Amino acid sequence: MSDVSDSLSRTPDEQKSYDYYAGIGLAVAGAILLTTSFMVRNPVPLTVRGAIVLFMAGGLAVTFGFLRVKNQQDYYGGMALVLLSLIAFVASNDLPGMRGFAFGPGTAPRLFAFTLGALSLIVAVMGLITPGPYVTKYKIRGVIFITGSILTFAATIRSLGLVIASFATIIICAAAAEDIRWKETLFWAALLTAFCSFLFPYGLNLPFQLWPRFY
Amino acid sequence: MYELLANLWMGFGVAATPTNVMLCMIGATVGTLIGVLPGIGSLATIAMLLPITFGLPPVGALIMLAGIYYGAQYGGSTTSILVNIPGESSSVVTMLDGHQMARQGRAGPALAIAAIGSFFAGCVATVLVAALGAPLTAMALLFGPAEYFSLMVLGLIFAVVLAKGSIIKALTMILAGLLMSMIGSDLETGAERMTWGIPELSDGIGFVVVGMGVFGFGEILRNLESTGTRDIIDSKITNLMPSLPDLKASAGAIGRGTIIGSALGILPGGGAIIAAFAAYTFEKRMSKTPHRFGRGAIEGVAAPEAANNAAAQTSFIPLLTLGIPPNPVMALMVGAMTIHGIVPGPQVMTKQPELFWGMIASMWIGNLALIVINLPLVGVWVRLLRVPYRHLFPMIVIFCCIGIYSVNNAPFDVTMTAIFGVIGYWLVKHDFEPAPMILGFVLGPLMEENLRRAMLIARGDATVFVTRPISAGLLAISLLMLVLSILPTLRAKREEVFTE
C-alpha cells in the first residue's frame, strides 16, 4: 500500500490517540476473554489466565505510554493474533488432550494455538522495537454499508425472497461509494435485480424463492 | 508414451463432447468477463462463479471451473495492459511493458501476443501435466501419513517463502488458518471443537465463506479506499495482429517463459506470481537491449504471460496427483471438487480416469477457447473497463451473496462471509498477506489427520518424521528454505525481486 491517499493518513497526534484507544480495546478484549474463561466447564489452567492478564497489561501499557509502539501494523496485528491463540486455548479447554500415544480432539488445536501465540508475540515485540508504518484510517463508510448490505441479504433472503432481498442489498451497498448518484443507482439496482432473479432460479436452476412467503 | 497418448485420446473423448466444449467456452468467457474487472483476482472470480457449476455433472463442472480459471487469468492481463491496474497479482509484471505498449498505440499487438504466449505455454504445460501425472501418482502411493504431513509442511513453507512481505507474519497467517480449520466436529471422535455451542459451526467454516469473505468482500473494502482515477487507453484498438518482427522478437521469450513457468508452477505456493517475475527478470538479463524493458518491449509482455499461464497449468499437478493444493486458487478447486463428491489425490487418476484425463484435455481446449473468444471480444472488455467502480461493486456484492447462500442455502454462511470480509480488510491494513491463511485453512484438516495417523502408527514416537527417509528429506528442504529466506543476503534479493 504505497499510494495512501491523503484522506486516510494520520497526523502524529492522531496516531497517538489511535494507540490510546487501541490499547484500551486490547485490554477490554482480554477482560472479556478472562471472564469467559471462568464460564467453561473445566478450570482453565493458570498459565493461560496469566497470559491473558499479561495480554491486557500489554494493551494498557500502550494506552498509558509505558510502551511506545514503533510499528503499529506489527504491534496490533501481532497482538490480535496473540488474542486469537488465547481464545483458542479457552475454547479448546474442555476438549480432552493426549490419550496414551493417540491425539485427542484438543491436542492439535492447542499445538497450533501455542505456535501461533509464540510467533505472533514475536511479531508484536518487533512492532515495539523496529520502526515501521502506522495503521492508516479505516474507510468506515465502506465497512458499514458493505457489511450492512450483506447482513441485510442474510436476514431477508429466507423470508422476503430473492427479488426484495437483492434489491435492498444492492441499494444499501451502493451507498458505500462516496460518489453515489441515487437515480442511477435505483435504475442499476432494478436492472441487476431483474438479471439475478432470472439467472439464478431459471438460468441455473437453483432453488430460490422469488417473492415473500405469505402464510 | 503409447499409454500417454491413449490416455490423452480418452481425455479428448471426454472433453470434446459438445456439452463439455460449450461449458469450457462459457467458463472461459465468463471468467474473462469477471477477471477483467479491476481488483477482482482469479480467486474471487472462481469463488463468485462457483454456484453456476453446482447443477452440472462433476466432469463438466470441473472443466467449466478450469475454463473460468484461465479466463480469469487472461482477463487480469487484459486489465493490466489496457488500464494501469493489475487485474490480479500475477499480471503485475505484464503491466510494466504492456501498458507502455498500449500507450504507444500498440494495445492490439500486446493483447494478441499475451494470448498467443499464453496459448503456447498452455499447450506445453498440458503435455507436461499429462506426462508427469502418472509417475507422480505412482510416487504418491509410496507416501504414508508421515510423508504426507511433511509434504504439506513443505508446501506451506514454500508459500511463505514465495509470498511477499514479512516471513514471520506469513507464518502466523498460516497458523491462524490452521487454527480456524479446527473449528467444527473432530473427524475421529466427533467432539465439537471451539464452536462456542453455535450449532451452525459444528460443520466447520466453509472454505468458500473464508475465501469469498477475505478475497471478495475484503478486496472491495480496500478498493473503496482509493478514489484514484483509472488510466484507460482511449484510442480505438486497431490491427490486433502483431507484425512479423514482433512475433520473431517474442518467440524466444515465450519459449523461455514457458520453461520457467512450468518449473515454478509445480512448486507449491504462489507459483504463477513468482514465475511471471522470474521470467521477466530473466528476459531482461538475456536481452541485448535491456533499456527497452519498461518502455514497451514486446518480450516484456510475452515472457511473463507465457510463464504465468504455464505455472497456472502446472499447479494442477500437485493437486491432481498428491491431492495437495499448491496455492489458494487450487485450494478453491479442492473445495469445488469436494462439493461434487470428488476427493482430490492419487486415487482420482486410478478410480476416475475419465475425470482426470478429461480435465487435462479440457485445459488445452480452454486455452484455445481463450484465443478464439478473447481476441474478437477485446472491444467489449474495453467498454467494460469504463464502467465506474460505483456500479461494479454492488454487482460483485450481490453475486457473492447469492453465490454463498446457494452453497448450503444457509443465511448463516452469508453472515460469516461478512465477518471474514472485515477480517480481510483488517489484515490488509496491518500488512498481513491473506493468501497463506487460506492455504493453511484448506490444508488444516488434511494435516491434522495425517499428523494424528502418523503418530498413532509410530506409537506416539514423534521422531517418525525424521527417521523415514522421504519425510526427513521433505522436512530438511523446508527447513533449508526457511533458513535461506531469513538469511539477510537472500532476503535483500527477495525484496529486490518483488519491488522491481
pLDDT digits 0-9 by tens, B78-125: 777 777 666 666 677 777 787 788 777 777 788 888 888 888 888 888
CB contact under 8 A, B432 and A77: yes
Domain termination site, one of A129, A154, A187: A129
Identify the closest residue of chain A to B410 by CA–CA distance. Answer: A154
Most confident of A194-208, B237-251, B461-475: B461-475
Residues of B in contact with A142 (CB under 8 A): 220-221, 224-225
Among A8, A102, A123, whose Cβ lies nearest the Cβ of B225? Answer: A8
State whether residue A55 sits within 8 Å of chain B by CB: no
Among B179, B431, B432, whose Cβ lies nearest the Cβ of A116? Answer: B179
- On whether both A159 and A185 belong to a single domain, the answer is yes
The whole-angstrom separation of Cα B250 and Cα B231 is 26
Residues of A in contact with B390 (CB under 8 A): 174, 177, 179-181, 185
The whole-angstrom separation of Cα B125 and Cα B147 is 27
Smallest CA-to-CA distance from B335 within B137, B150, B61, B67 is with B61
pLDDT digits 0-9 by tens, B132-162: 777 777 777 777 888 888 888 887 887 777 6
CB B73 within 8 A of CB B92: no
The whole-angstrom separation of Cα B448 and Cα B184 is 13
What's the rounded mean pLDDT across residues A111-119? Answer: 91
Q: Give just the sign of the alpha carbon dihedral A149, A150, A151, A156.
A: positive
- On whether both A109 and A145 belong to a single domain, the answer is no
pTM of the predicted structure, to 2 decimals? 0.81
pLDDT in the model for residue A4: 47
Residues of B in contact with A159 (CB under 8 A): none
Q: How many residues does chain B have?
A: 500
What's the rounded mean pLDDT across residues A31-58? Answer: 84
What's the rounded mean pLDDT across residues A173-177? Answer: 83
- On whether both A89 and A185 belong to a single domain, the answer is no
Smallest CA-to-CA distance from B239 within B113, B373, B106 is with B106
pLDDT-based confidence at residue B492 (cuts at 50, 70, 90): low
Residue B242 has pLDDT above 50, yes or no: yes
The one-character DSSP state at A94 is: T
Domain locations in chain B as residue ranges: 2-499
Separation in Å, CA of B410 to nearest CA in chain A: 8
Identify the closest residue of chain B to A153 by CA–CA distance. Answer: B401
Residue B28 has pLDDT above 50, yes or no: yes
Number of domains composing chain A: 2
| Least confident among B15-29, B167-181, B454-468 | B454-468
Does residue A149 form part of some domain? yes
For chain B, give the percent of residues with pLDDT over 90.
2
pLDDT in the model for residue A6: 61
Residue B495 has pLDDT above 70, yes or no: no
pLDDT in the model for residue B240: 65
The whole-angstrom separation of Cα A198 and Cα B211 is 26
Among A88, A135, A147, whose Cβ lies nearest the Cβ of B179? Answer: A88
Q: Across all residues in chain B, what is the average pLDDT?
A: 78
Residues of B in contact with A178 (CB under 8 A): 227
Q: Which residues contact B106 (CB under 8 A, 6 or more apart)?
A: B296
The whole-angstrom separation of Cα A122 and Cα A120 is 5
Does residue A215 form part of some domain? no
- On whether both A26 and A101 belong to a single domain, the answer is yes
pLDDT in the model for residue B419: 92
- On whether both A144 and A111 belong to a single domain, the answer is no
Does residue A27 form part of some domain? yes
pLDDT-based confidence at residue B420 (cuts at 50, 70, 90): very high
Smallest CA-to-CA distance from A23 within A31, A35, A34 is with A31
Task: Give the three cell numbers for residue B304.
Answer: 511473463
pLDDT digits 0-9 by tens, B370-402: 777 777 777 777 777 777 777 778 888 888 888
Task: Give the three cell numbers for residue A116.
Answer: 501461533
Does residue A97 form part of some domain? yes
pLDDT in the model for residue B500: 47
Q: Which domain holds residue A154?
A: 140-203
pLDDT-based confidence at residue A1 (cuts at 50, 70, 90): very low
Q: Which residues contact B376 (CB under 8 A, 6 or more apart)?
A: none
The whole-angstrom separation of Cα B145 and Cα B448 is 10
What is the number of helices (H) and of strands (E) in chain A?
6, 0
The whole-angstrom separation of Cα B257 and Cα B312 is 13
Separation in Å, CA of B48 to nearest CA in chain A: 13
ipTM above 0.85, yes or no: yes
Domain termination site, one of A129, A164, A189: A129
CB contact under 8 A, A150 and B217: yes
- On whether both A187 and A116 belong to a single domain, the answer is no
The whole-angstrom separation of Cα B11 and Cα B102 is 39
Q: Give just the sign of the alpha carbon dihedral B135, B138, B140, B144.
A: negative
State whether residue A146 sits within 8 Å of chain B by CB: yes
CB B296 within 8 A of CB B250: no
Among A96, A123, A196, whose Cβ lies nearest the Cβ of B168? Answer: A123
CB B219 within 8 A of CB B45: no
Residue B232 has pLDDT above 80, yes or no: no
State whether residue A95 sits within 8 Å of chain B by CB: yes
CB contact under 8 A, A200 and B178: no
Helix (H), strand (E) at residue B392: helix B389-408
Residue A165 has pLDDT above 80, yes or no: yes
Task: Describe the crossing of helices B389-408 and A140-174 by its angle, rounded to 10 degrees.
Answer: 80
